């Protein structure tokens, strides 16, 4: 998708700090980390919002979570745990219109999921 920052990262047109890659999924460091560990996990297929997901995307979303497990193992934070957040739409404050899963960790995270 033209003009999509994450599609540009996937195509190698914008530099990024890659953490993990499969045929279908890319994980890279968030440019403005909100925690010591802040990784974005994205499907290479452009899907704008979670509300656009189709039944044929179900396997892909499952793979995102098993990939996050592998990333946690690779990066050494599996034991301590982590939080996964996916924003969808205006009320969530979604800024980049290409679905992505924030993986946050590296410290004891706040008890409140929303403020
Ligand atoms: P969201 O508010 O859920 O749409 O989050 C978008 C996230 O993408 C933010 O945490 C940004 O810091 C991050 N972001 C935007 N552009 C880049 C980029 N070029 N490389 C890495 N992370 C980015
Ligand atoms: Zn995209």
Residue 90: CATH number of its domain? 3.30.428.10
Index of the ligand 1 atom closest to the CA of residue 96: 4
Rounded-to-integer distance, Cα 89 and Cα 31, Å:
21
Say which residue the tokens 């994450």 belong to. 6
pLDDT higher than threshold 90 for residue 1: no
Question: Which ligand approaches the C-alpha of residue 89 most closely?
Answer: 1
Q: pTM for this structure?
A: 0.98
The rounded distance, in Å, linking the Cα atoms of 16 and 54 is 28
Is 47 a member of any domain?
A: yes
In a domain, 99, yes or no: yes
State the distance from the centre of ligand 2 to the C-alpha of 31, rounded, in angstroms. 17
Q: What average pLDDT does this structure show over 82-105?
A: 98
Is residue 98 included in any domain, yes or no?
yes
pLDDT over 90 at 115, yes or no: no
Average pLDDT of the residues in 68-85: 98
| Residue whose tokens read 């499907």 | 43
Taking the C-alpha atoms of residue 47 and residue 54, their distance in angstroms, rounded to an integer, is 10
HSE-CB for 48 with a 13 A CA cutoff:
7
- Indicate if the pLDDT at residue 67 is higher than 90: yes
Within a domain: 97: yes
| Spatial contact of 10 and 50, defined as CB atoms under 8 Å apart | no
Domain contains 115: no
Counting the structural domains of the chain, the total is 1
100 is catalytic: yes
Cα(102)–Cα(86) distance, rounded to whole angstroms?
6
**Residue 111 belongs to some domain of the structure:** no
Residue 56 covered by a domain: yes
pLDDT per residue over 11-63, tens digit each?
999 999 999 999 999 999 999 999 999 999 999 999 999 999 999 999 999 99
Asked if the structure places residue 44 within a domain, the reply is: yes
Q: Is 93 in the pocket of ligand 1 (CB under 6 A)?
A: yes
């Amino acid at each position: 998708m033209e003009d999509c920052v994450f599609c540009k990262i996937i195509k190698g047109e914008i530099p990024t700090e890659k953490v993990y890659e499969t045929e279908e999924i890319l994980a890279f460091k968030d440019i403005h980390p909100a925690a010591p560990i802040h990784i974005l996990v994205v499907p290479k297929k452009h899907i704008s919002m979670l509300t656009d997901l189709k039944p044929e995307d179900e396997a892909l979303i499952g793979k995102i979570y098993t990939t996050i497990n592998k990333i946690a193992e690779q990066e050494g934070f599996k034991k301590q745990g982590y939080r996964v957040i996916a924003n969808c739409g205006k009320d969530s404050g979604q800024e980049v219109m290409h679905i992505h899963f924030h993986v946050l960790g590296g410290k004891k995270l706040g008890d409140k999921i929303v403020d």
